[in-house]
Amino acid sequence: MKKVSLIILSLSIGVAGIVYYQWQQFTNLPEWYTQQAQASPNLINFKNPEEVKEAKIQLEGKIDAYLVSQENQPTVEKSKNDSPFNTQPIIGSANAGQTFDPDSVAINLDATEFNTLVVSNLVENARSSPLLDSAEGFKTTIKNGAIEAGVVLNISQIPTDQLAADERTAFNKAIQTFPFMENRQVYLAVEGKPSLEQGTLKFDDSTKVKVGNLSMTLSELSQKLGIPQEQLQQKIKLELSLGRLKINDIKFEGDRALIRGAVQENL
């Protein structure tokens, strides 16, 4: 009997350890949020409209200055790196050694610049979103040719009565599926290699969703929540605009975003 009791106790401790580990993984917050001053000194406070606006103006200003310089100098020399960004390939490298073509411009953004692009467009496209109001941090990172766009949400601050019907249904199902999230700060993110379709950044079926430190595919999340995968994909797309440059294509290589677009007339 004593041996049986010890076995049961050992199993109980083991199960408790597994549950605790999973709970820790699910509730883990990213370093860029918990140690903002050290880990992300240039992180934009997306809840500060003036800060977001200023960051967007600076990014678009650098790009516009480059476009103007190229428009005034028809030939782009291969050896000259006049990029206003901290890049290896120069901005406009697609036009190197050719007459400047405003319909085929290449822009190379680092992770900080791409985060500015995403944050400014996210804030602009979701001005009246109750979910955005409850968010406490947002950051997009690029690594190994893929991006991770994540947000720290304070679940207790989400005004469920202000959510649209489908959003409220999804929220309730999420709490039922992951009860540990209730009344906590939670990190939610999407990981993948999105593509651009008609000016909108879209994620494909290989995209993963992160809750804390744990990842699952969109298909797995769809099954857990009982929500069609297509509906989930609709929720994670984002329209992108970049000043005078109309974005036609975007690729991710290493820790950079390679953007191709066409110059528009002054807006």
CB-based contacts of 26, cutoff 8 Å, min separation 6: 178, 180, 181, 186, 211, 212, 213, 214
Structure confidence by residue, pLDDT tens digits, 53-89: 999 999 999 888 888 887 776 554 544 444 444 444 4
Overall average pLDDT of the 2-27 stretch: 53
Query: How far is it between the farthest Cα atoms of the chain?
Result: 90
How many residues make up the chain in this entry?
267
- Residue % of the chain over a pLDDT of 70: 76
Q: What is the pLDDT of residue 131?
A: 78
pTM for the full model?
A: 0.79
102-161 confidence digits (pLDDT tens): 778 888 999 999 999 999 998 887 765 777 778 888 999 999 999 999 999 998 888 888
Bigger pLDDT: 41 vs 90: 41
Q: How far is CA 45 from CA 6, 135, 199, in A?
A: 53, 11, 25
Helix (H, G, I), strand (E, B) or coil at 210: strand
Distance CA 158, CA 163 (A): 9
Q: What span, in angstroms and rounded, lies between the C-alpha atoms of 55 and 122?
A: 13
Helix boundaries (H) for 28-110: 31-34, 36-39, 49-72
In this prediction, residue 49 carries a pLDDT of: 85
The whole-angstrom separation of Cα 76 and Cα 96 is: 5
Residue 2 confidence class, pLDDT cut points 50, 70, 90: low
Ordered by start, the domain boundaries in the chain are 31-263
Q: Residue 235: its pLDDT value, please?
A: 85
Mean confidence (pLDDT) of the chain: 80
The answer to whether residues 225 and 174 touch, using CB atoms and an 8 Å cutoff, is yes
Please tell me the least confidently modeled range out of 23-27, 45-49, 167-171, 222-226: 23-27
218-225 helix and 165-177 helix, angle to the nearest 10 degrees: 90
pLDDT-above-90 percentage for the chain: 31
Q: What is the pLDDT of residues 21-57, one digit of tens each?
A: 455 677 789 988 888 655 556 678 888 889 999 999 9
CB neighbourhood size of 107 (10 A): 26
